Structure 1
C-alpha cells in the first residue's frame, strides 16, 4: 500500500510530465493561447510556458519536439499529508529545437539545445496537481 508521501510524489511527477506533454502540443504551432497549457500548469509556471511560446510565435518558429526529462522529487511538504513537491530535473532540450515550420529546420545560428537544470514546484489544489512554479536554467547548468 502506498503512503501519502508516495502518492504525492507520483502525482507531482505525473503533473510535471503532463505539463511538458501539453507544452509540446501547444508548441507544434507556438500557440501561446492553447487551453491545453492549463491542464497541468498554473500561476508562474503557466506564465513561463506562455512567454516561451509567445516568443517563438513572434519569431515565426515552432517547437520541434519535447525535452527528454529526468525528474526527481527533491522534497514533499508538509510531512504527514503532502500537498506540494519540489522537482529537480536535468532535461535534454536538444530533442526540442525551435524550428522554422516552412523548412522543418532550426534557423541559421540557432542554439542546438542541451542539458539544463529545471526546478519546478508542483502543488495540489482541489484534488488536482499542477506545476505552479518553473525555473529553466541555461544550457550546461547540469551534467
Structure 2
C-alpha cells in the first residue's frame, strides 16, 4: 500500500504519538475534511464498498472506545475492525494509558465520509475522511477518576485507510489523526 506523501507524514506522526510516547497520547478524535465529497455519482460497487468501509471505520472506533474504559490493550475486540498499523496503534495507545493508570470515558462524535475507492469498478481500498469531536471523550486517572491535566478534547481531521480482506470483510489498516483544530 502506497500512501500520498502528505498522508504518510501524518500517519508517521500519529504512529509516534500513539506508540512512541512514554506518557499517554492525546485522545484520538475522528475529524472530517473541509473539502466537499466528490460530485460524481458512485457506481453500485463503489457505493457498497463505501458503506462497508464506513461501517468498519465506525466499528474500529467503537471497539477502541469500549477498550478505553479499562485501557484494555489486549482486547480481542480491537481486531474485529482493525488490522496492521491501525491495530498496532490502537493497542499501543491503550497500553500507554494502562501503564500510566489512565482510562478514557465518553464517546467521540464521528462524521466519516468516503473520499475515494480504488479501483472504482471493484474497490478493494477506501479512503475515509473524518472530522470528529473528542470534547466528550476524555482521559481520567483510573485510581481517583480525576480528569488528566493533559486532556484536551476538540475537533481533529482523521484519514483512514480501509481495505477489503480475503474473506470479503473490510478492516481499517491505517489511520492518521491530526492536531486539534484541523477541521
User: One fold, TM greater than 0.5?
Assistant: yes
Which residue is 1:105 aligned to? Answer: 146
- Counting matched residue pairs gives 140
2-structure distance, mates of 1:128, 1:105: 39
| Consecutive unaligned residues in structure 1, runs of 5 or more | none
Match of 1:58 in 2: 99
How far did residue 121 of structure 1 move? 0.3
1:116 Cα shift?
A: 0.6
Gaps (5+ residues) in structure 2? Answer: 1-42
Higher relative contact order (CA 8 A, sep 6+): 2
Q: Deviations over 1:36-69 (max 9, x none)?
A: 0000000011011111111111110011122111
User: 1:112 deviation in Å?
Assistant: 2.5
Residue of structure 2 in register with 1:119 after alignment: 159
Counterpart secondary structure, 1:24: helix
Contact 2:45 2:120 in 1 (8 A): no
| SS of residue in 2 equivalent to 1:141 | coil
Query: What secondary structure sits across from 2:135 in the alignment?
Result: helix
- Aligned pairs for 1:3-14 (under 5 A) are 3-14=44-55
Higher strand share: 1
Compute the RMSD of aligned alpha carbons.
1.3
Give the Å deviation of 1:105.
3.1
